[in-house]
Amino acid sequence: MSANSAESTGHLDVVLVKGGRTKIRYAAELLADDGTRITVRAPWAGDVARDFGFVRFESGDIFTEYYWRDRWYAVKEVRDSTGALKGWYTDITRPAVLSGTELVVEDLDLDLWRSADGRTVLRLDEDEFAESGLPEKDPDAASAAVAALDELELLAREGDFEALLA
């Protein structure tokens, strides 16, 4: 592990920030930290099930989450309570920052879903991104966010998506 990695406890708190405020905080098991990519595992952190129409997150679901210090996204592999793969939910974010046992990630509103069979790839929340004002307030960050979404969509559609997580 790097000097900027979580302490040897094997646990950390994931803090998802949106619009300058903490959206959610949850405990996760640290699986790996190679100095660039941080991998954690955590159960579904929501209080109730959430049905998106294309996938339902619910109690018992397990998320293996991949965060990068040098990329503008996080990829979350979602499995149900039996271990069956549901798919991958990606958040477009600023690069992750690990400080002690706190992994802080700023959500930039854009998301991508890829189903387990790879047949469904959906760009999500582009309207929220436009309404966030980021393109006007921070055009460089907005450009990086859109480029990250484009990159992930291409990987998801071309079949090289899972190589990100190897």
Both tokens of 71, joined, read 């990329």
Q: Residue 146 in 3-state DSSP?
A: helix
Per-residue pLDDT of the chain (166 residues; tens, 9 = 90+): 444 444 445 999 999 999 889 999 999 999 999 999 999 999 998 888 999 999 999 999 999 999 999 999 999 999 999 999 999 999 999 999 999 999 999 999 999 999 999 999 999 999 999 999 999 999 999 999 999 999 999 999 997 888 999 8
Could you tell me the maximum CA-CA distance found in the chain, to the nearest angstrom? 44
Q: CA 2, 3, 9, 12 torsion: positive or negative?
A: negative
What's the one-letter identity of residue 110?
L
User: Residue 136, Cα to own-chain centre: how many angstroms?
Assistant: 24
The residue with tokens 């990519």 is: 37
CA distance 22 to 12: 16
Instruction: Specify whether the CB–CB gap between 63 and 78 falls below 8 A.
Output: yes
What's the number of CA atoms in the CB half-sphere (13 Å) around residue 15? Answer: 15
